[in-house]
Amino acid sequence: MRGPACTVLWLLASSVLGTNGARLSAQPSKALNNLNAVEELHRYRAFNESGIRLLLAGEDLPLVEPTEPSSLAEVDGTGQDVQLPRAWRSKLEITKWLGAGTFGKVFKCKVLCERHRDVYVSVKYIQEKSKLVRTEIGVLEQMKDYSDFCISAIGSPSYIEDSHGFWIMMPYMNHGDLHDFISKCHKNPQCRNTRSQEGRQDFTHVDPAFTDAYILVLFHDIVAGTEALHRKTGRIHTDLKPANIMVNCQNNMCFAAVIDLGLACMMQPYGCHGGGTPVYMPPEVWTQDAGSLHLPARDVWALGVILYQLVYNRNPPFFSNPQRMVHSYDVSKDPTIRGTKEVDYLIMKMLAKDYRRRPSLATIREELEGLVEATAAPARRRHHVLPSLAEVSEREERLQSSIQKYKRGDRVQWWSTRYQTWLDARVLFARDDGTYLLDTTRSATEEEMRLPQEGDSHTPPGGAPVAPTVAPTVAPPVAVARWVKVPAHHKFKVGDSVQYFSGTYQEWLPAKVVGIKDNGRYDLNIRSDAEESKIRFPPDDAQQAVAAPVQGHKAVDIPVEVHMLRSNAVQRGAALKTPSCL
């Protein structure tokens, strides 16, 4: 049983023990460095901490689910032999049996008390009263009415306990899970783009509406849902994967939501388990680093793997043998990641081996918003044009033949003028203009770089030692804001609802001030480092025709993907509002 109707089941190692090490399939075989795991899409099992230890010890445990059914596919049978709890019978009617698992059943139910439109919910009946089930119900209750992008209980009452277990009412997601969504591309040679040198998937061959920007919006939903779970419950998910993300669509408008919250654990030291789904687990879980198992960076890694699967037509190389390859995986040397698009660098940061170097969910959301705006914008409005494949190939040959001091993957140190010290860094990309993209800054010259431990840590390039400011123990993320008290001369303050003039769309866009920098600029929820001259308070209706700060351009339509980015599921038109009668 999967989807919002899925009871999270631990794989009990005692029931699947073998002898030869982890294997891809559920059929007896020797452990293989299975290339099929890299090339093809499979549904993977979740293991508890004991199961992970058995994998590390070389036990022959199957990683893939024994069958490959479609997630929550509507099957024959209406569930007429099942009666809903009495309190729901006047509100709901079972119309479809969606599936069944070891401990429960899932039903699609029509909302009877909504007479003006057809609205459906899903009802899950779990015939078990374990601590795991009670934890999941508690988290679903906490998430109620909080975010469209993380599953929650709905209705009143939202769950009912009987002598055998629990009935839970949740939103009905009509488009299957993200595994199904990606599978449609894998089954379509044009979408999978198998002949492309870069190996990037093109979902427009599944549906013309599914542009690159549209796919990034759906991933933004997933990140937002994960962040909402962290913020509202103080828990990390620990088992993010395509099968635990559902998609709902109304015509071509879709949204994604994180589901299966039963394994979510508290973000407190030593308060989290060491289990999960092997191919989505970060290095620190494989090494059972108890001091880091509770950190959000654990979910960031899994999200990075999911984004990898959405962007490229193959899985990360460690899918062939996760227990042996994840902890040695170096994303900067992954041949699939070509580094020719900005999304490549986001994936590289999310899959950093050192969890302290992975970006926060808020930073990922901000980068995604910029990527969506840049990708969805009309070509004539974009700030730069990406090179063609021929230009990329020519550039790579020129780079290989040129003499460069550093290459991709090198560990270096970079001089930070902000902290007045040398910070550890890694080369992500060497540009043909002689600059480098590092995991700590977007652009560094060779004069600002050196090999580790070349000279004093506080002597700048070519200069005398300076008194250092307090430097962080870990290299700061790109574009770290310096928050300061708001001077009296600043026009706006944190929390103000404002409008920002977008040069891309030549239009005032609604925004909120989230931070103020010491250079007089502002960080908004839709734009970082914004000039005060491009911000204003929302005008009265009579003043809507006030001229923009930049004259001489016609206003352009905002792409649908950007509208999606700024809306919840109902505003987007991707979901119907839950009837108040529930």
Residue 330 maps to which CATH number?
Answer: 1.10.510.10
Is 386 among the domain residues?
no
Looking at residue 504, its pLDDT comes to 61
Given 342, 376, 410, which residue is the final one in a domain?
A: 376
Q: How far apart are CA 563 and CA 263, in angstroms?
A: 33
CA geometry: angle 390, 392, 393, nearest 5 deg: 65
The DSSP annotation for 466-509 comes to: ----PPPSSPPPTT---B----TT-S--TT-EEEEEETTTTEEE
Query: By C-alpha distance, which of 205, 303, 215, 200 is closest to 255?
Result: 215
- Looking at the structure, do residues 235 and 355 belong to the same domain, yes or no? yes
**Beta strand ranges found along 335-392 (DSSP E):** none
Q: How far apart are CA 582 and CA 175, in angstroms?
A: 23
Looking at residue 17, its pLDDT comes to 28
Is 201 among the domain residues?
yes
Is 60 among the domain residues?
no
Q: How far apart are CA 479 and CA 45, in angstroms?
A: 38
Is 540 among the domain residues?
yes
Is 262 among the domain residues?
yes
Q: How far apart are CA 22 and CA 61, in angstroms?
A: 5
Looking at residue 463, its pLDDT comes to 66
Q: How far apart are CA 119 and CA 151, in angstroms?
A: 17
Is 47 among the domain residues?
no
Is 69 among the domain residues?
no
- Looking at the structure, do residues 355 and 306 belong to the same domain, yes or no? yes
What does the buried/exposed string (b/e) look like for 437-449 if buried means 16 or more CB atoms within 10 Å of the residue's CB?
bbbbbeebeeebb
- Looking at the structure, do residues 451 and 509 belong to the same domain, yes or no? no
Looking at residue 530, its pLDDT comes to 84
Question: Terminal CA-to-CA distance of the chain, rounded, Å?
Answer: 25
- Looking at the structure, do residues 187 and 304 belong to the same domain, yes or no? yes
Under 8 Å CB-to-CB from 443, ≥6 apart: which residues?
435, 436, 437
Looking at residue 478, its pLDDT comes to 38
pTM: 0.70
Looking at residue 468, its pLDDT comes to 47
Q: How far apart are CA 6 and CA 2, in angstroms?
A: 4
Domain that includes residue 451, residue range: 391-480
Q: Which 8-state DSSP code applies to residue 519?
A: T
Is 252 among the domain residues?
yes
Query: By C-alpha distance, which of 135, 173, 141 is closest to 157?
Result: 141
Query: By C-alpha distance, which of 509, 223, 193, 516 is closest to 366?
Result: 223
CB 60 within 8 A of CB 23: yes
- Looking at the structure, do residues 464 and 325 belong to the same domain, yes or no? no
Peptide bond into 157 cis (omega under 30): yes
Looking at residue 491, its pLDDT comes to 86
Q: How far apart are CA 383 and CA 371, in angstroms?
A: 12
Please state the domain count of the chain: 3
Give the residue ranges of the chain where pLDDT is below 50.
Answer: 1-21, 26-33, 68-77, 379-393, 396, 399-402, 468-488, 541-555
Looking at residue 103, its pLDDT comes to 67
Q: How far apart are CA 246 and CA 149, in angstroms?
A: 9
Q: How far apart are CA 136 and CA 264, in angstroms?
A: 8
CATH code, domain carrying 500: 2.30.30.140
CATH code, domain carrying 455: 2.30.30
Token pair in block for residue 173:
């997601």
Looking at residue 578, its pLDDT comes to 87
Cross-strand pairs, 437: 429
Looking at residue 300, its pLDDT comes to 98
